[in-house]
Structure 1
Amino acid sequence: MLPPRILRRLVLAPLVIVMTLFMLVTLPFWLVVTAAASLRLPPPQRRGPRFVWFGIVWLTLESAVLIACLWLWVAGGARRQERHYALIGWFLAKVYAAAVRIFRLTLDIEEPEPTAEERAARLTRPVIVLSRHAGPGDSFLLIHHLLARYHRRPRIVMKAALQYDPSLDVVINRLPNAFVPRSSAEQSRVVEEIRRLAGTMGDEDALVIFPEGGNFTPRRRRLAIRRLEEKGLGAQADRARGMDHLLPPRPNGAIAAIEARPGADVIFVAHTGLDDLITLGDVWRKLPLRAHITAKWWRVPAAEVPGEREARIGWLYDHWEQIDAWIGAQRQARTPDRAEHG
């Protein structure tokens, strides 16, 4: 059970700052320990010290965000949304730069030509972003690019447990976002929160939804297909069975967003590269020396979104199958390269 907000503010937030100072003071010790722990891995994969450096950067940035939030609260700017979006943008830009430097992260994005509105940063309609969810940090990369590249103000529905992260807890709760329980019994509340966030979007906003409901794992895929069969949704189960890299999309949230904001364009996001890193153990053992992510997105104008519920479900599965096929093609193209450098 999540502690009350006042307790999170008085205990967890200061704890992050104390932990940051402790890690900075004891940095040499942690570098030695992680380097020793990495000795069991092949030489190119001895990545322990890199994790320490990234952890230090992350904690330092978290502490800076918390201090900035405190200053905004004292100065009476806690309700100024633009300042908090700028703060999130700064934080994610620094995290991205650290990942590029420490993990040698590279990112290729295949995208359509930006509209004249996007080039001029004068946006006249909101967007609903439907993205796959897999691999470490994919949501952070998505939000970073929405802010920095496309000048959008993201709205997100997140698991309530993420409020254990003090900077997320403070900043996200000051903006139009929603934290929801993980329990499947609360799915109606999730849909209502999505409907609320979509219905109040302005022209510069982007509602981010992960229709799979969580990170992809083979086990979750099997369970999701079984649930569809138990509900008598045989056609959807058959289509889900044909997708090897994705969980079947849960249509209720996406449809609720479209119903609440029918004038919004819909953007689909596909990505691959680190999606086979499912657990922390996978990240420790398998993170490549040079991390590379390939992404693709495309826009569906609001006028081209089907009007009926069943047609929308089929349309959502159509695009999900397109994402799955694209991921399969990308993985197949990477196989020879892995064989050469493996």
Structure 2
Amino acid sequence: MWLTLPGWLIVAAVLSPVLPGRWRALRLLWIFMLYLTCETVLLVVLLGLWFSSGLGRWVRTPYFEGIHYDLVQGVMWVFSREARRVLRLTIETDGPSPDAHPGVPLLVACRHAGPGDSFTLIHALMHWYAREPRVVLKDALAWDPVIDVLLGRIPARFISPEPGRGADLEAHITALAHGLDANDAFVIFPEGGNFTPARRQRGIDRLRRLGLERMARRAESLTHVIAPRPGGFIAALEGAPDADVVLVAHTGLDHLSTVADLWRELPMDKRIVMRWWQVPREEIPAGREERIEWLFDWWERIDAWIEQNRPEDLSSSRS
């Protein structure tokens, strides 16, 4: 790509005047080049770390694990900086101070809507909360070479969203959440996938098939989120009995579900707001059914917050 960059620049410059958005093709070309460059450099660095850790023998020791977390933090910083500068994104974080409850491990449950929300969340956890995240994510993301190699060396789990393929899913989540220390944060997305109207309806239908009519009616009242699947969240609670829970809502990436959505919206020129709530462990119910009710109550609160904080298009506010 770098060898052929002059040709790509000419094509992007020719296309930019005829495409909506200010210099859309050139700005997206730079982000794509940045992504490929970081991917290539990181793969070389990861290979060097594999050799230096005794051909992988000590790669999962605390020393090398810390180096890999530093790599994640560095890449997140680069992409966050360039997203703000090139795509003109404004990211605001609202919630408790990171030192409100120092020395307490965190279990972070976030709504899932739009590509990039998990990266934005991880960036905020590492830079704002100074935490080392443990992440549960879809196995499809392992097709990215750096994600596959890097997350294979730090505490993380790739899971299948298809029923039947992850029979021991809750056991894996409990094991991953076990042993959280004061600077760790376990990250989970209880909805199981990005919000779309179709997924929202499938979640409602699933509750009805299980005979949970009351919960299905509650799910129907949620207009901006999918009814949470409590199994993984409860498994994480059991694996981390001392962790506080942080609930995260965000707006700004809601309508980016397909490649066509991405092409239409990028460059974004948007304001993304992330809202955090931290709940002390002693305020979380002990029983399974009570925890399910508690999680649904919070998802209703998150849904209401999203309704009151709809995404703001900064390009229209400048005009």
Question: What is the TM-score of this pair, normalised by structure 1?
Answer: 0.86
Matches within 5 A, 1:32-47: 32-37=10-15, 40-42=18-20, 44=21, 46-47=23-24
Correspondence 1:221 to 2:205:
no
How far does residue 115 in structure 1 lie from its aligned partner after superposition? 2.7
Q: Secondary structure at the match of 2:125?
A: helix
Q: Secondary structure at the match of 1:186?
A: coil
Distance across 2 between alignment mates of 1:116 and 1:270:
19
39, 51, 58: which is aligned to 1:74? 51
Distance across 1 between alignment mates of 2:100 and 2:278:
14
CA contact (8 A) 1:267 1:299 kept: yes
- Give the corresponding residue for 2:94: 110
Aligned length: 312
CA contact (8 A) 2:270 2:312 kept: no
What per-residue deviation string (whole Å, max 9, x for no partner) do you get for residues 190-216 of structure 1?
Answer: 212111111232222111000000101
How far does residue 114 in structure 1 lie from its aligned partner after superposition? 3.3
The aligned amino acid for 1:256 is: A
Distance across 1 between alignment mates of 2:315 and 2:74:
35
What per-residue deviation string (whole Å, max 9, x for no partner) do you get for residues 237-263 of structure 1?
Answer: 111110111011000001111122221
Q: 1:34 to 1:189 in 2, by over 3 A?
A: farther
Q: Secondary structure at the match of 2:108?
A: strand
- Give the corresponding residue for 2:128: 149
- Give the corresponding residue for 1:247: 226
Q: Secondary structure at the match of 1:277?
A: coil
Per mean C-alpha deviation after superposition, the further-off stretch among 108-117 and 202-211 is 108-117
5+ residue gaps in structure 1?
A: 1-22
Q: 1:299 to 1:31 in 2, by over 3 A?
A: same
54, 62, 70: which is aligned to 1:86? 70
Q: 1:45 to 1:184 in 2, by over 3 A?
A: farther
Distance across 1 between alignment mates of 2:268 and 2:161:
34
How far does residue 339 in structure 1 lie from its aligned partner after superposition? 7.2
- Give the corresponding residue for 2:167: 188
Q: Secondary structure at the match of 1:271?
A: strand
How far does residue 282 in structure 1 lie from its aligned partner after superposition? 0.7
What per-residue deviation string (whole Å, max 9, x for no partner) do you get for residues 44-78 of structure 1?
Answer: 35512211100101111111211111111121262
Distance across 1 between alignment mates of 2:116 and 2:110:
13
- Give the corresponding residue for 1:10: none
Distance across 2 between alignment mates of 1:137 and 1:267:
19
Correspondence 1:97 to 2:81:
yes
Q: Secondary structure at the match of 1:202?
A: coil
Matches within 5 A, 1:130-141: 130-141=109-120
Distance across 2 between alignment mates of 1:262 and 1:78:
28
- Give the corresponding residue for 1:257: 236
Correspondence 1:25 to 2:6:
no
Q: Secondary structure at the match of 1:115?
A: coil
- Give the corresponding residue for 1:15: none
- Give the corresponding residue for 1:55: 32
Q: 1:334 to 1:71 in 2, by over 3 A?
A: closer
Q: 1:204 to 1:157 in 2, by over 3 A?
A: same
Distance across 2 between alignment mates of 1:288 and 1:65:
26
What per-residue deviation string (whole Å, max 9, x for no partner) do you get for residues 18-57 of structure 1?
Answer: xxxxx11112222333455555543x35512211100101
Distance across 1 between alignment mates of 2:114 and 2:92:
16
Larger helix fraction of residues = 1
- Give the corresponding residue for 1:64: 41
CA contact (8 A) 1:277 1:287 kept: no
5+ residue gaps in structure 2?
A: none
Distance across 2 between alignment mates of 1:188 and 1:304:
31
Q: Secondary structure at the match of 1:268?
A: strand
Question: What is the TM-score of this pair, normalised by structure 2?
Answer: 0.91
